[in-house]
Amino acid sequence: MMQATEHFYIVRNEQILSGEPIIRGTRTPVRAIVENWRLGVAPEEIPQALPHLTLAQVFDALSYYLDHQDEINSYIEHNRIPDELIDPLVRDL
């Protein structure tokens, strides 16, 4: 069942990513937008890599993150691939 948040484009659905905050109408988690942003991708460029998203959705995801940093950071950490599982040729890029 979909649960609204205080952010228009951000919802939760227990059947999608166990209720992790996602962009409404997609399966894209807020953490995906945040991780791109942390890598230095400008918000205006994120829809080029994720063309199913609008700029408004991207900015709302970043706004949600700024309001819920601990929560989203825990999802990022939980989904991080451990360094020992990453091939050194990929890790050193």
pTM of the model: 0.86
**2-91 has which CATH code?**
1.10.10.10
Q: Measuring CA to CA, how many Å separate 58 from each of 5, 11, 21, 78, 89?
A: 15, 13, 13, 22, 31
**pLDDT, tens digit, for every residue of 10-38?**
999 999 999 999 999 999 999 999 999 99
Is the per-residue pLDDT at 51 higher than 70?
A: yes
Domain ranges of the chain: 2-91
Mean predicted confidence (pLDDT) in 59-81: 95
Question: Which pLDDT belongs to residue 19?
Answer: 96
